[in-house]
Amino acid sequence: MPKDTKPIVAYEDSFDKLDIRVGRIIDASIETRTHKPTYRMTVDFGKFGRRVSYGRFTRHSIDDLKDRLVLGVLNFEPRQMGPVVSEALILGVQYPRGESGEATFVSPAVNAKIGSKLF
């Protein structure tokens, strides 16, 4: 039997309000000042600028992150994460058999244009 999902919402009241765009990770390093090990990523969103994002994508090597295409939410308020501030939410899903919060990326299957909007 399928599990229940969250209540139905109108497209105009939810997804339509989010600005989700394709970005390219141009720099990444480990951040140890957060509660759990996290990567500090600089992501280029083309004409929408560069944003610094922090995420628990630490099952991936830093070399695996550089030049990776990712999807990021650009219109959330910056989020304080201990002593650092994340300027964009990079979308991910639970890493297989990872700890709670460890993620892998949601990425385009092809080399999409930087700054392209998710629809």
CATH number, position 65: 2.40.50.140
Residue 84 lies in a domain: yes
CA–CA dist 92, 72 (Å, integer):
9
Nearest one of 12, 33, 21 to 114, comparing CA atoms: 21
Residue 99 lies in a domain: yes
Number of domains within the chain: 1
Residue 4 lies in a domain: no
CA–CA dist 88, 71 (Å, integer):
10
Residue 2 lies in a domain: no
How far apart, in Å, are the Cα atoms of 77 and each of 18, 52, 73? 12, 13, 10
Residue 92 lies in a domain: yes
Per-residue pLDDT of the chain (119 residues; tens, 9 = 90+): 778 898 898 988 888 999 999 999 999 999 989 888 899 999 999 999 999 999 999 999 999 999 999 999 999 999 998 899 999 999 999 999 877 789 999 999 999 999 999 98
The partner residues of 111 in beta bridges, in order of sequence, read none
Token pair for 96: 């297989």
Residue 59 lies in a domain: yes
Residue 113 lies in a domain: no
Domain that holds residue 25: 18-105
Q: Over the range 25-44, which residues count as b (16 or more CB within 10 Å of their CB) and which as e?
A: beebeebeebeeebbbbbbb
pLDDT of 13? 85
Residue 112 lies in a domain: no
